[in-house]
């Protein structure tokens, strides 16, 4: 029992993705390979960026931090899900459920803020190239990344505290493979009208505002490239296109799920898979397959390891 919230519920039962044993084994194999790819791919990006002096620009510094956040986000969900897929009874303690929500929203919100910073970095590089090194100095980059983590922590702390202090007296079944705010708070034994609106304004508005800022920055980039076309700008546009794919896979489901009171719309656990499982996978795939500098750095790293 969580101290201070007067709950009778000490654990939740996760229904997972399926109750059929053959599907659970199939899901375990697929998601184990996915999680392994996320870990190895993002770790490879981090090592390649950190060991190659040519990848010292702010864009790669931010990419390195994005890879770390993707590892954190995936590690909050995937290991527990993989264990549950092989378990007969999928239960999670109340405290563990609250902790999973907290760390998931810290990583998720921090990634949203960081993607917004990365869009600003591309906007500055293309639209204000003469002032780029001054605007995006290493000190500014560290300050922006720190602000992203601080914003993610504050966002998650609001969600977690509001959820932890709700009274839970049953039922305790969650129709999902992890603990998240929309389904957990609907199990509370109290009126949730004000709480739902507060949480929706917290998560939903953050997702929507960050997405609108991203779209605005890309529109400005497109206008600038159209006015003064160069080969370098075209290369930057290609980078922005890859960035936009990651943005869409992360923001679209979050806006769909969180930008309304949770009880007014059915919750789809399959949509959650987009931003909890597949979004962290896109980072290593897109930024390695489409980026010549990163691929060249990884190839040099591979040759050094073979020696």
Residue 71, SS3?
helix
**CA-based nearest residue to 269, from 186, 201, 183:** 183
Q: Where are the domains of the chain?
A: 11-299
Question: Which tens digit of pLDDT belongs to each residue from 215-253?
Answer: 888 888 877 777 665 555 566 666 667 777 778 888 888
CATH for 11-299 is 1.20.1070.10
CA 271 to CA 241: how far, in whole Å? 23
Region 92-108: mean pLDDT is 93
Question: Which tens digit of pLDDT belongs to each residue from 41-52?
Answer: 899 888 888 888
Region 156-163: mean pLDDT is 89
Please state, for a pLDDT cut of 70, what percent of the chain lies above it: 88
**Residue 2 pLDDT:** 46
Q: Which residues contact 280 (CB under 8 A, 6 or more apart)?
A: 38, 42, 70, 71, 73, 74
**pTM (2 d.p.):** 0.87
Phi and psi dihedrals of 12, rounded to 5?
Answer: -115, 150
**Residue 110 pLDDT:** 94
DSSP states along 99-156: HHHHHHHHHHHHHHHHHHHHHHHHHHHHH-GGGHHHHT-HHHHHHHHHHHHHHHHHHH
Angle ∠(207,98,186) on CA atoms, nearest 5:
70
- 8 A C-beta contact, residue 41 and residue 74: no
Please state, for a pLDDT cut of 90, what percent of the chain lies above it: 26
**Residue 105 pLDDT:** 92
Q: How many CB atoms lie within 10 A of CB 304?
A: 9
CA 53 to CA 30: how far, in whole Å? 36
């Amino acid at each position: 029992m969580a101290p201070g919230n007067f709950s009778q519920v000490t654990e939740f039962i996760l229904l997972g993705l399926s109750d059929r044993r053959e599907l659970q084994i199939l899901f375990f194999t697929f998601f184990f390979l996915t999680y392994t790819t996320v870990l190895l791919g993002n770790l490879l990006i981090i090592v390649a960026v950190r060991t190659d002096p040519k990848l010292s620009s702010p864009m790669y510094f931010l990419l390195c931090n994005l890879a770390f956040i993707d590892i954190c986000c995936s590690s909050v969900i995937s290991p527990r899900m993989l264990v549950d897929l092989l378990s007969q009874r999928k239960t999670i303690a109340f405290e563990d459920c609250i902790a999973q929500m907290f760390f998931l929203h810290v990583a998720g919100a921090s990634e949203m803020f960081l993607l917004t910073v990365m869009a600003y970095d591309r906007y500055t590089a293309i639209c204000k190239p003469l002032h780029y090194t001054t605007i995006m100095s290493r000190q500014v980059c560290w300050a922006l990344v720190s602000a992203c983590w601080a914003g993610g922590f504050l966002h998650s702390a609001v969600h977690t505290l509001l959820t932890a202090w709700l009274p839970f007296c049953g039922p305790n079944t969650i129709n999902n493979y992890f603990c998240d705010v929309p389904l957990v708070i609907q199990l509370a034994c109290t009126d949730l009208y004000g709480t739902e609106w507060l949480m929706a304004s917290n998560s939903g508005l953050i997702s929507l505002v960050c997405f609108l800022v991203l779209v605005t920055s890309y529109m400005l980039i497109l206008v600038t490239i159209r006015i003064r076309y160069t080969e370098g700008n075209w290369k930057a546009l290609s980078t922005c296109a890859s960035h936009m794919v990651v943005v869409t896979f992360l923001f679209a489901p979050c806006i769909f799920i969180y930008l309304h009171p949770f009880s007014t719309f059915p919750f789809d656990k399959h949509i959650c898979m987009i931003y909890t499982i597949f979004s962290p996978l896109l980072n290593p795939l897109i930024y390695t397959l489409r980026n010549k500098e990163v691929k060249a750095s990884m190839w040099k790293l591979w040759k050094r390891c073979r020696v």
